Structure 1
């Protein structure tokens, strides 16, 4: 079976690229297609595959300024020649599903998120964009949304990385989606005996992550916060931080792993589609204090593996930290770690393999796509009134 994996862009190693690595393990013979490619920025496992970038690669500065090339990405994706492939797997967060699959191939899209900057986060991204982007977005977005919806019909089976994302697929594409949580290397993390007096915030420093809430809250409380990560928000965050907030920038994996295991808790104030960092922290036996929306509702169990706060504000986060410190001793590292193992790489691989086999069997029987795809991962318990838990 000839397999093509289409990944939006390969310029760093983040959560989406970890999923790509898991797909590479499942399909070692697969060829990879991507919009732009920086070999030095990705793992050896990915480099071992044949990687074909689009014509955007030839534009000056493409691997650094790829986001500015969004209007050209539909043309680049449709230029890939996928004739002869039996299975096409698109890894979607930026555009990827917009390739033209051959008629005999099954096209399965693993969707990390419909493009946030075109849909539910459009106004947030526009408000935080520079003048040129802010001016261009209203002119370009309608056509890009139309293309995004139209290309959803090229997918035989959507697989969502959370129920939160599955709901957005239903809202914007009017398609059902099987839910399969992404692979987390839970085996790489372990609890330690010595917990130190600091909280941790880790991840890319971009506006929607709302790390500014954590920096302001811990500055006001005069409590120690360690921030690991880099991004366009770094200078602004440093400027607003007090002496109890420490920035480590981009840290090696061992440094990040050590801080996860030794922190009092991870602070997670952003809205994520899934959120791998909280799961890695829980695999280290440490609780998570998270804004109670999106993927956090599916990964963090309130009062058992962490605390969820109901409002994305500094005051709500401060109240959550105060509450956490009154019940900190009730969180059991072993129980927290056991919960994290449900998001293992093995569970992802077994689930994805089952989905592919099911879709290929359906196509062999002439039933292309599944109108009501089964749910691999059961939905999380719903919190009807999150505010009532405080």
Structure 2
């Protein structure tokens, strides 16, 4: 009788819950006996993994203040993954957007299956954007000088690691295009898992819009804040990050902020807000954008940038309104246009079911088992 494969799950970091971490959680639920290897782990900030067998690299032994500054040490994280001993496993399943694919095979019969959120944006698709604004606070001028010296080597190592991957899975058609462009590799698209059933779209909607996420420069929350301030319409902003103070300074009296992940910005608070929201504003150029699927599941039309993974999710005029340029003027025009369309929350919610977590599990399990010889 064929023995089930021994699987190891590998991801970059488990220190904050986001889209990539939700994918790792879904992998854990699908393969609960598989240990999760990660560079750094903060159990207090990701309680969803409390029952998982999480194993860390030597970086976990660094003093806490250095662990919190892990983004300053990309080469150390890459080296830590290369030093992992994964010889006991038949399948190495990575959830990767930066360094997880640096893992090494110990035997020729091992398979590396990479669920790729994007080829590392810092090295490839968004290098110029990050070099312009690295978002390292007072260290940014120093990082700008270092990037041209460090990135070429990291880019070369990332490419070499991609050639060792046996199977690439892309989280969107945009990521599939990048995998082909930067790595020269084919991939299969499996959309990330979304718990669509946890939302209960209200038939009667509020008068406010919602946006949410990690407040980084590339997310362009400034566009949503400025547009709603210009129009004088209510906007609820959920999340925190390096750009938070700048966003608060931009905001007019109709914009409110919710930053406590375990309080006013908890899952329950966000669900309640989106379930009744007039719409969801998503000005970012994302690899996929799980929050846009959640918005649709909650019955909120998406006002989004016509690029990246959003094109897999939102159909202009049917499930939202897309704008062509990342400018305040374009977002203002999109909000005005959305206001002229009569949206049906139940219909929007039904369109989100094609991204349900159950489909992700079924498709991923098949790929893993198809690549195990036993």
Length-normalised TM-score, structure 2? 0.94
8 Å contact kept, 1:55–1:76: yes
Residues 115-174 of structure 1: per-residue CA shift (max 9 Å, x gap): 111111111111112111111111100000000000111110000000100100001000
* Alpha-carbon distance between aligned partners in 1 of 2:317 and 2:366, rounded to the nearest angstrom: 34
* Alpha-carbon distance between aligned partners in 2 of 1:62 and 1:169, rounded to the nearest angstrom: 32
Equivalent in 264, 282, 301 of residue 278 of structure 2: 264
1:318 aligns with 2:346: no
* Alpha-carbon distance between aligned partners in 2 of 1:15 and 1:227, rounded to the nearest angstrom: 18
Equivalent in 107, 125, 140 of residue 130 of structure 2: 125
* Alpha-carbon distance between aligned partners in 2 of 1:23 and 1:166, rounded to the nearest angstrom: 20
Q: Which residue of 2 aligns with 1:360?
A: 372
Q: 2:95 aligns to what SS in structure 1?
A: strand
1:183 aligns with 2:193: yes
1:113 aligns with 2:118: yes
Q: Which residue of 1 aligns with 2:73?
A: 69
* Alpha-carbon distance between aligned partners in 1 of 2:66 and 2:318, rounded to the nearest angstrom: 45
* Alpha-carbon distance between aligned partners in 2 of 1:48 and 1:265, rounded to the nearest angstrom: 36
Equivalent in 135, 144, 149 of residue 145 of structure 2: 135
* Alpha-carbon distance between aligned partners in 2 of 1:249 and 1:84, rounded to the nearest angstrom: 42
* Alpha-carbon distance between aligned partners in 2 of 1:49 and 1:247, rounded to the nearest angstrom: 33
Q: Which residue of 2 aligns with 1:48?
A: 51
Q: Alignment RMSD, CA only?
A: 1.2
* Alpha-carbon distance between aligned partners in 1 of 2:167 and 2:47, rounded to the nearest angstrom: 28
Aligned length in residues = 359
TM-superposed CA distance for 1:222, in Å, is 1.3
8 Å contact kept, 1:285–1:334: yes
Structure 2: tracts of 5 or more residues without a match: 135-139
8 Å contact kept, 1:37–1:57: yes
* Alpha-carbon distance between aligned partners in 2 of 1:244 and 1:29, rounded to the nearest angstrom: 48
* Alpha-carbon distance between aligned partners in 1 of 2:123 and 2:339, rounded to the nearest angstrom: 39
Q: Which residue of 2 aligns with 1:298?
A: 312
8 Å contact kept, 1:56–1:62: no
Structure 1: tracts of 5 or more residues without a match: 365-390
Equivalent in 262, 273, 298 of residue 287 of structure 2: 273
Q: Which residue of 2 aligns with 1:374?
A: none
1:334 aligns with 2:346: yes
* Alpha-carbon distance between aligned partners in 2 of 1:65 and 1:279, rounded to the nearest angstrom: 31
Length-normalised TM-score, structure 1? 0.90
* Alpha-carbon distance between aligned partners in 1 of 2:224 and 2:203, rounded to the nearest angstrom: 26
1:7 aligns with 2:17: no
